[in-house]
């Protein structure tokens, strides 16, 4: 029964019958709330890019290693970026080249995981800040750095 709903959802999405496709995918989620195909199908059919991201997040929560879900996440991020351009219409629910029903090419993802850029200047900034604080709080600090006599306090 669940596979019938998935087939009907995919067929309706391909035919452009979004309402029927959404209903079929939601029927699958009633039986199996973690069904990846139904979640990704609803993500592709969502009119709002934020709704797409929400469905994809649910799919990734249930299937963290899924190449299909990671492909969908990259698509949704591009879609979200495109929808922020002023004066532009958001992307269509089924973008050109995006397979309906959440079907994505099989195989491992070739995109390496991103990591934050190393900010080489942060350690230097930290050292400069420590030097300034030490010189300000320690009366002999300035004298030690300049080679002069410690300042008399009081």
Residue 140 and residue 68 share a domain = no
Instruction: Check residue 127 and give its pLDDT.
Output: 83
In a domain, 11, yes or no: yes
Is 10 strand, coil or helix? Answer: helix
Please list the pLDDT of the chain residue by residue as tens digits (154 residues): 678 889 999 999 999 999 999 999 999 999 999 999 999 999 999 998 889 889 999 999 999 999 999 999 999 888 888 876 555 454 444 444 444 444 444 444 455 556 566 677 777 877 888 877 766 666 665 566 666 665 565 5
Q: Which residues contact residue 11 at a Cβ distance below 8 angstroms, ignoring those fewer than 6 apart?
A: none
Residue 97 and residue 124 share a domain = no
Residue 124 and residue 98 share a domain = no
d(CA 48, CA 94): 12
Residue 79 and residue 37 share a domain = yes
């Amino acid at each position: 029964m669940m596979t019938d709903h998935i087939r009907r959802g995919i067929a309706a999405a391909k035919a452009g019958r979004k309402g029927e496709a959404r209903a079929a995918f939601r029927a699958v989620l009633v039986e199996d709330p973690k069904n990846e195909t139904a979640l990704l199908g609803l993500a592709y059919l969502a009119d709002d890019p934020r709704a797409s991201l929400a469905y994809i997040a649910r799919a990734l929560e249930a299937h963290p290693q899924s190449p299909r879900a990671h492909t969908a996440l990259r698509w949704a991020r591009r879609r979200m970026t495109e929808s922020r351009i002023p004066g532009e219409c958001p992307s269509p629910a089924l973008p050109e080249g995006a397979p309906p029903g959440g079907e994505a090419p099989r195989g491992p993802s070739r995109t390496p995981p991103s990591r934050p850029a190393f900010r080489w200047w942060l350690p230097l900034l930290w050292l400069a800040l420590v030097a300034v604080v030490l010189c300000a709080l320690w009366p002999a600090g300035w004298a030690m750095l300049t080679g002069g006599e410690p300042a008399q306090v009081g």
